[in-house]
Structure 1
Amino acid sequence: MPHSPEEKKKVLARIRRIRGQCEGLERALDAGADCAPVLQQIAAIRGAVNGLMSEVLESHLREQFGQAAHCDDDRAARVAEMTGLIRSYLK
């Protein structure tokens, strides 16, 4: 999670844009839009979500690995957490 006010503001702006894209997709589907523009909008939403995930993940990595671990168990726990997060995202 972004912790600085600047990072938080940036992430929230991304989320609002994604929400707008989803609302646009909903309107297009409701209006019976052709498949090509709908698919293009879905791809744009996926790209936006991937960008959001990348930004939050990068922030989390900096937070978790920007400082030395207190012990090997702590380091192993951090690595296991990150591995689990990345695996769940890639499914």
Structure 2
Amino acid sequence: MPHSPEEKKKVLARIRRIRGQCEGLERALEAGADCGPVLQQIAAIRGAVNGLMSEVLESHLREQFEQPARDAVGRRARVDEMTSLIRSYLK
């Protein structure tokens, strides 16, 4: 999670844009929009969510790895956590 006020503001703005995109998609579906524009909107939402995930993941990586680990066990735990997060991100 972004911790600085600037990072938090950026992430919340992204979330609000994604919410707006989802609401637009919902309206399009309710109105019976053609498949092409609906698919484009879904792709745009997916891209926005991927961008959000990337930004939060980068912030988390910086937070975890800017400070040295206290010992090898702590270092290994950090690497395991990051590996798990990246695998879930890539699914």
| Pairwise TM-score range, normalised by the shorter structure | over 0.9
Structure 2 match to 1:9: 9
The code of the aligned residue for 2:88 comes to: S
How big is the shift at 1:89? Answer: 1.9
State the alpha-carbon separation in 1 of the partners of residues 90 and 47 from structure 2.
14
State the alpha-carbon separation in 2 of the partners of residues 54 and 90 from structure 1.
11
TM-score (norm 1): 0.98
Alignment of 1:4-83 (within 5 A): 4-83=4-83
State the alpha-carbon separation in 2 of the partners of residues 10 and 88 from structure 1.
23
* CA displacement, residues 24-49 of structure 1 (integer Å, 9 cap, x when unaligned): 00000000000000000000000000
Unmatched 5+ stretches in structure 2: none
Unmatched 5+ stretches in structure 1: none
Structure 1 match to 2:87: 87
State the alpha-carbon separation in 2 of the partners of residues 3 and 80 from structure 1.
22
Query: Identity over aligned residues, as a percent?
Result: 87
The code of the aligned residue for 1:33 comes to: A
The alignment's C-alpha RMSD in Å is: 0.6
The code of the aligned residue for 1:50 comes to: N
TM-score (norm 2): 0.98
The code of the aligned residue for 2:62 comes to: R
The code of the aligned residue for 1:85 comes to: L
